[in-house]
Amino acid sequence: MTADVASAATPREQWQPTACILCECNCGIVVQLDDRRLTKIRGDKAHPASQGYTCNKALRLDHYQNNRGRLTSPLRRRPDGEYEEIDWDTAISEIAAGFKDIAERFGGDKIFYYGGGGQGNHLGGAYSGAFLKALGARYRSNALAQEKTGEAWVDAHLYGGHTRGEFEHAEVSVFVGKNPWMSQSFPRARVVLNDIAKDPLRSMIVIDPVVTDTAKMADFHLRVRPGTDAWCLAALVGVLVQENLCDEAFLAEHVTGVEPVRDVLRDIPVADYAQRCGVDEELIRVAARRIGTADSVAVFEDLGVQQAPNSTLCSYLDKLLWILTGNFAKRGGQHLHSSFGPLLRHAPEIGRTPVTGAPIIGGLVPGNVVPEEILTDHPDRFRAMIVESSNPAHSLANSAACREAFRSLDLLVVIDVAMTETARLAHYVLPAASQFEKAEATFFNLEFPHNTFHLRHPLMDPLPGTLPEAEIWARLVRGLGVVDEAELAPLRAAAKQGRAEFAEAFLHAVGSSPMLGKVLPYVLYETLGPTLPEGLSSAAALWGLALKAALAYPEAVRRAGYADGNALFDAILASPSGLTFTVHEYAEDFELISHPDRKIALHMPQMLDEIRALAASAPTLTSPEFPIVLSVGERRAYTANDILRDPSWRKRDRDGALRVSVEDAEALGLSNGGRARITTAAGIAEATVEISEAMLPGHTSLPNGYGLDFETEDGGTHVAGVAPNALTSTRWRDAYSATPWHKHVPARIEPVPVH
């Protein structure tokens, strides 16, 4: 049975479209329900991006929807530390009063927001700004601040936006610290990788110390020593310049600041850097020549370098690979793209946090400084925090420090579907509807030339006692009492008349009321929301985003089939499998560059200084006490993000094995299936050992998604595997972006004696 004939089926057999929520791809799926259970799941062929593709993890989504740890009532922590159930009205009034009191006594900027949604859970977060702006809150963060801010800062300098490779058509695909066979991250990843591997005219280059599934498919595996990616990348771009493999016509027409960069790269000692990173010099040269002579090249960097030493420098260097060779604005190359709801701001200016002066890039406070911004007597410290659909007590470096910091707050509120590690520290916990019980969407809309957006319709009503985040935020704004109902009445009336009448009334209202201008998402939810189809009131905020998209990319939106923003918005509401909202032509890539001259600005003095500094000896971050590099957060076949708390979905590796090399196992006396003790400067843990030829000597790894407590069938609680951030340190971070070095943690590994 297919989705298009579902209407003729009985309710139990009906296929309903939605999306997977376990990675940024958010592949379209169709599901069958039995009451509230997702009984059958498969790819949605009608989804414009994934086209029926999905990986094995999507088939386990009922473990999220119906896990035993679902919250069904607001909770308030009592003085004895235990929680009591309270009604929604009490919770909202007390929370609103608490935050209002802190804003009045200390300033709204002492209220810190963490979240905005997990994977695919972004629509509710769009409403958080209304509450935060009404209070005067300024500081926020989320998981992107642990990963992408260094790259975003480089992007802002170079061209002003995010780029994505067109791997489906690239002659050469380069993956830097990236294993897309496991971590996906672009549409139909495994299909695309297989197509590349089978085509003798195409090549795949992987830079990674681990023999990953993707590396096994590669034509060139540059197996760098952990932490030496910068030397490998510098050698590659050095070869491009020294062997005259750059696209001079492209550089002359479309790039500024080339000569200072070229001058530095001419002096790269390729042979020396090859030795330092542990890769054969000739392999580096052959790979560089393949890049320099290809008709198209696409590059993807990810956490393997973004959470390791020199991460911001690596972002700059890997972008030189495709810029110097002219692989922009062409089929199979690298592209800027349209954006429906940007997740961070691409601005070259760096703000600073109020206590430590850490860099704020893209509007996000670095996760590694959050405890320091709280655990101090500084007058500008964060005093209150609201966490939405995130679990920073588990996901940020040095969990012990995070827990201490969160306990010290005057007020901590968590909005989530389950009692997370962060929720257990909160003063109030508000139960959210699941991602399948409400209208939801992702703003990971990153593709070119066709970009897609998917508003997922609810599959069922919210679990009794829970609310969608949009409704929670609306109630909190009402609790502040900052908007008079009389101001909303004309907008409610106009919304019933039509989009044109509403637009006119909306612009007049927000233009004449400063407070309405601050709480725009709330205004849309309260006035436009009730006129939308049943279950889609949370989509009201998308109206403004659709209008902005049509203004920003008028021709691309028209090519996609929509005359204006209103037409696009109506189509979004009526497309349960998603739609293509922009169709660009390749030449338009240059128009998406934010610099006035529409050219790539290559010269970044700070990064050139860092390249010159590579000539000094590579720093040794390990020591006799901690001689092995531990990488935490490895993606594996049965790992996913933290929303799958119960490990019963895993068919293997239930406890998250510590992978070690054959050589290290022999030297340390470790046995396959035995136990090992892992010690770092931050903590100690034990794990089951898996001896793997994929690991280099001196390098070991733990997977992501473990160390979460969950409710067992008998009503008890259990923790499966190692919580990675029990072993990481907030002090290990990038100099520019403060992103953590989770992939390069000095550690000591010892066998646990069998008793």
CATH number of the structural domain spanning residue 525: 3.40.50.740
User: Predicted confidence band at 317 (pLDDT cuts at 50, 70, 90)?
Assistant: very high
By the 10 Å C-beta count (0-12 exposed, 13-18 middle, 19+ buried), 569 is classed as buried
Q: What is the mean pLDDT of residues 351-361?
A: 96
Average pLDDT of the chain to the nearest whole number:
95
Among residues of the chain, what percentage have pLDDT more than 70?
98
Would you say residue 349 lies in a domain?
A: no
pLDDT in tens, 286-306: 999 999 999 999 999 999 999
Which two three-digit tokens encode residue 450?
């066709």
Strand partners, 601: 256
The half-sphere exposure of 3 on its side-chain side, counting CA atoms within 13 A, is 20
Give yes or no for residue 12 having a pLDDT over 70: no
* Domain harbouring 298, CATH code: 3.40.228.10
Q: Are residues 154 and 113 in the same domain?
A: no
Would you say residue 363 lies in a domain?
A: no
Q: Are 496 and 400 in contact (CB under 8 A)?
A: no
Q: What is the mean pLDDT of residues 141-152?
A: 95
Give yes or no for residue 712 having a pLDDT over 90: no
Q: Are residues 427 and 537 in the same domain?
A: yes
Tokens 């979004």 sit on residue: 572
How many helices (H) does the chain have, and how many strands (E)?
Answer: 27, 30
Q: Which of these, 411, 359, 417, 350, lies nearest to 386 by C-alpha position?
A: 411
DSSP helix/strand/coil, 646: coil
Give yes or no for residue 320 having a pLDDT over 60: yes
Q: Are residues 512 and 604 in the same domain?
A: no
Give yes or no for residue 3 having a pLDDT over 60: no
Q: Which of these, 209, 247, 234, lies nearest to 319 by C-alpha position?
A: 234
Q: Are residues 406 and 514 in the same domain?
A: yes
Would you say residue 354 lies in a domain?
A: no
The half-sphere exposure of 104 on its side-chain side, counting CA atoms within 13 A, is 7
* Domain harbouring 726, CATH code: 2.40.40.20
Q: Are 154 and 315 in contact (CB under 8 A)?
A: yes
pLDDT in tens, 374-399: 999 999 999 999 999 999 999 999 99
Give yes or no for residue 343 having a pLDDT over 90: no
Separation CA 622–CA 671 (nearest Å): 24
Q: Are 495 and 527 in contact (CB under 8 A)?
A: yes
Start-end of H helices in 428-519: 469-480, 485-497, 499-512, 514-518
Q: Which residue segment(s) compose the domain that 550 sits in?
A: 75-137+383-442+450-583
Would you say residue 142 lies in a domain?
A: no
* Domain harbouring 32, CATH code: 3.30.200.210
Q: Are residues 389 and 486 in the same domain?
A: yes
Q: Which of these, 467, 469, 527, lies nearest to 502 by C-alpha position?
A: 527
Higher pLDDT, 10 or 206: 206
Inter-CA distances, 347 with 60, 114, 305, 723, 735, Å = 39, 21, 22, 34, 18
Q: Are residues 467 and 518 in the same domain?
A: yes
pLDDT in tens, 427-443: 999 999 999 999 999 99
Separation CA 375–CA 406 (nearest Å): 9
**What phi-psi label fits residue 362: left (phi over 0), alpha (psi between -120 and 50 degrees) or beta?**
left
Separation CA 154–CA 608 (nearest Å): 12
DSSP helix/strand/coil, 434: coil
Q: Are residues 202 and 302 in the same domain?
A: yes
Angle CA 317–222–157, to nearest 5: 10
Q: Are residues 552 and 651 in the same domain?
A: no
Would you say residue 289 lies in a domain?
A: yes
pLDDT in tens, 578-610: 999 999 999 999 999 999 999 999 999 999 999
Separation CA 499–CA 492 (nearest Å): 12
Separation CA 136–CA 108 (nearest Å): 4
Whole-number pLDDT of residue 37? 96
Would you say residue 361 lies in a domain?
A: no
User: Predicted confidence band at 121 (pLDDT cuts at 50, 70, 90)?
Assistant: confident
User: Predicted confidence band at 8 (pLDDT cuts at 50, 70, 90)?
Assistant: very low
Total domains, the chain? 4
Q: Are 412 and 387 in contact (CB under 8 A)?
A: yes
Q: Are residues 421 and 489 in the same domain?
A: yes
Q: Are 299 and 176 in contact (CB under 8 A)?
A: yes
pLDDT in tens, 233-262: 999 999 999 999 999 999 999 999 999 999
Separation CA 449–CA 583 (nearest Å): 6
Q: Are residues 101 and 216 in the same domain?
A: no
Q: What is the mean pLDDT of residues 12-33?
A: 92
CB count within 10 Å of CB 92 equals 22
Whole-number pLDDT of residue 7? 40
Would you say residue 356 lies in a domain?
A: no
User: Predicted confidence band at 6 (pLDDT cuts at 50, 70, 90)?
Assistant: very low
Whole-number pLDDT of residue 640? 85
Q: Are residues 421 and 557 in the same domain?
A: yes
Whole-number pLDDT of residue 11? 52
Q: What is the mean pLDDT of residues 531-538?
A: 97
Q: What is the mean pLDDT of residues 152-168?
A: 97
pLDDT in tens, 196-217: 999 999 999 999 999 999 999 9
Rg (CA), the chain: 26
Among residues of the chain, what percentage have pLDDT more than 90?
90
Which two three-digit tokens encode residue 441?
């969407």
Separation CA 496–CA 498 (nearest Å): 6
Angle CA 46–48–53, to nearest 5: 70
Cis peptide before 576 (omega within 30 of 0): no
Separation CA 728–CA 747 (nearest Å): 10
Separation CA 222–CA 211 (nearest Å): 10
pLDDT in tens, 460-478: 999 999 999 999 999 999 9
Q: Who contacts 490 (Cβ-Cβ below 8 Å, separation ≥6)?
A: 505, 509
Whole-number pLDDT of residue 77? 98
Would you say residue 661 lies in a domain?
A: yes
pTM metric for this prediction: 0.95
User: Predicted confidence band at 4 (pLDDT cuts at 50, 70, 90)?
Assistant: very low
Distance between start and end Cα atoms, the chain: 56
Q: Are residues 157 and 239 in the same domain?
A: yes
